[in-house]
Amino acid sequence: MINAIAIDDEPLAVQLLKGYILRTSGLKLTGTYYNPFDAMDQIDNGLVDLMFIDIQMPEISGIEFTRTLKKGPKIIFTTAYDKYALEGFRLEAVDYLLKPFDYAEFLRATAKAQKLIDMERRILPRIETNNEFLFLRAQYKIRRVNFSDILYIEGSKDYIRVFVQNETLPILSLSSLKVLESKLPESKFMRVHRSFIVNLEKVNTIERSRIVFGKVYVPVSEQFKDKFLEYLDHNFL
């Protein structure tokens, strides 16, 4: 699935793109914005694969905004003026939709983006692991993370947060806890909650069915409690 957002200062244009995205197989609408700066958090966290963005907007043009991105999603520009086409392609945009465009034109541009994204995903898998470390694709970078540095991992609907010792912020990656769990060595990691996996080597304090990591309390749910207690029993003095 390709996560797509639409950015345009005109409400009717946003609604058109929203409708096109929702009816297109393989695309998932993850946000619509009238101001590109409102989309920065999603983009910076690597949660956007494809961005449809208008060129002429009041605060900043789509072209100027795209230049501010160190490495971002695939871009399809939308505009009522064809004079910007050359500049759009200089920024390695996938395509350029001239308003008013119909669904057929939208599909042709989207197909190009899907082909590029699919090719990149085949060449560079988001997660590759061995017994000592894994590679995570996070914020358009590839991060090597040693198992010994991981404290715990929190899963959300479309992404995971990997909390690493000596780092203030977690590593955010588009994946699922279920996929990651299948890649981790069972001797080192354990699922203790629907939303949490912990590094057993980092479990030092347990309080009221909660694992303490500094100021953070990771709950041990009833579903996984027996397995966790069995681990404790085997290592209890």
Q: Per-residue pLDDT for 1 more than 80?
A: yes
Q: Mean pLDDT, to the nearest integer, of 33-49?
A: 89
225-to-183, 189, 191, 208, 209 alpha-carbon distances in Å: 22, 14, 10, 12, 8
Residue 205: both structure tokens together:
């304090």
Q: Per-residue pLDDT for 206 more than 90?
A: yes
Confidence of residue 22 (pLDDT cuts 50, 70, 90): very high
DSSP conformation letters of 188-233 = TEEEEETTEEEEGGG--EE-SSEEEETTEEEE--HHHHHHHHHHHH
Confidence of residue 104 (pLDDT cuts 50, 70, 90): very high
Confidence of residue 183 (pLDDT cuts 50, 70, 90): confident
Q: Nearest Cα to 87, choosing from 71, 66, 70, 113?
A: 66
Hey, CA dihedral for 192, 44, 21, 119, is it positive or negative?
negative
Q: Where are the domains positioned within the chain?
A: 2-123, 132-234
CATH architecture type of domain 132-234: Beta Barrel (2.40)
Relative to beta strand 50-54, strand 205-206 is: unpaired
7-to-57, 85, 117, 221 alpha-carbon distances in Å: 10, 18, 20, 41
72: number of Cβ within 10 Å: 18
CATH architecture type of domain 2-123: 3-Layer(aba) Sandwich (3.40)
Confidence of residue 72 (pLDDT cuts 50, 70, 90): confident
- Asked if 130 and 93 touch (Cβ cutoff 8 Å), the reply is no
Q: Which of 110-114, 140-144, 149-153, 224-228 has the lowest mean pLDDT?
A: 140-144
Q: Report the pLDDT value the prediction gives residue 123, as an integer from 0 to 100.
A: 64
Q: Mean pLDDT, to the nearest integer, of 88-100?
A: 77
Q: Report the pLDDT value the prediction gives residue 4, as an integer from 0 to 100.
A: 96
